[in-house]
Amino acid sequence: MTVTTTPPTATNAAPSEPAHGEAVATTVDEGYAPGSLVTLTGVRWETYESLLADLADPGSPRLTYDRGTLEIMSPSSPHERANRALALVVEMVAMEWDINLLDFGTTTFRRADLERGFEPDTCFYIDHVASVSGRRPIDPAVDPPPDLVIEMDVTTSAIPKLPLFAAMGIPEVWRTTPEGVTILTLRDGEYVPVVTSPAFPSLTAEVLTRFLDDGYTMTRSAWLRSIRAWAVNFPVQRPTAGGPD
């Protein structure tokens, strides 16, 4: 195995398959302390599945696999703080709007036929609650994908996540960068930014960004009350989750 250390760099290039017999290359990215990121190329699907089994305990690093490229990521505290804040916004708004949902957290979604797999920062089933509520475990080759994925774009990554999510058919992604939250919906195989969340009508990227920013300056109780007050003032009627797809 060839090991190289490189400074953090962003790339939009799709991972390529190594030639037969090519050495596996490993990149260690230490540019986002205290989180860490390790990228390996030339990794077989079977190796990815073995690592998933070995790292199944809560708190283990998250694995992303895309056609021979494996990324092992240990989330940082800013990563997790923003992630949990947005997940809580979803829960609070859903409660006030009486939207049934299931929080599947960082569940691993993998498909051997696509040679792709990922563990989202957080994901929710909303429109397809009835389809998965009794499923243990979820089988992405048969069951529908999550209706909403929250993705923290705060760590340099060698695997572009949006093409991976698109291949899995995830209809909506909330992506967070230092500039704020972007709401993306899947159209014709590609993600496009939209103003309002399809899953939560009236909830805009601007409002999500404000909630995220307020979470750093307000006390937790005041912050939660502000989310609830906003949701009460913007009631939305939508189909009950678990109804006809």
pLDDT digit string, tens, across residues 28-83 = 444 334 467 889 999 999 999 999 998 877 667 889 999 999 999 887 777 888 99
110 Cβ neighbours under 8 A, 6+ residues apart: 48, 49, 52, 65, 116, 117, 118, 140
pLDDT digit string, tens, across residues 178-190 = 889 999 999 999 9
Q: Are 182 and 209 in contact (CB under 8 A)?
A: no
Write down the pLDDT at residue 79. 81
Write down the pLDDT at residue 237. 56
What fold does the segment set 77-233 form as a domain?
Answer: tt1808, chain A (3.90.1570)
Which tokens belong to 155? 């760590």
How far is 137 from 108, CA to CA, in rounded Å? 10
pLDDT digit string, tens, across residues 175-232 = 998 889 999 999 999 999 999 999 999 999 999 999 999 999 999 999 999 999 999 9
Q: How many residues does the chain have?
A: 245
Residue type, 99: I
pLDDT digit string, tens, across residues 81-136 = 899 999 999 999 999 999 999 999 989 999 999 999 999 999 999 999 999 988 77
Share of the chain above pLDDT 90, in %: 59
How far is 104 from 133, CA to CA, in rounded Å? 10
How far is 164 from 149, CA to CA, in rounded Å? 12
Write down the pLDDT at residue 44. 96
The β-bridge relationship of strands 69-74 and 36-41 is antiparallel
- 106 burial type by CB count under 10 A (0-12 exposed, 13-18 middle, 19+ buried): middle
| Domain locations in the chain as residue ranges | 2-74, 77-233
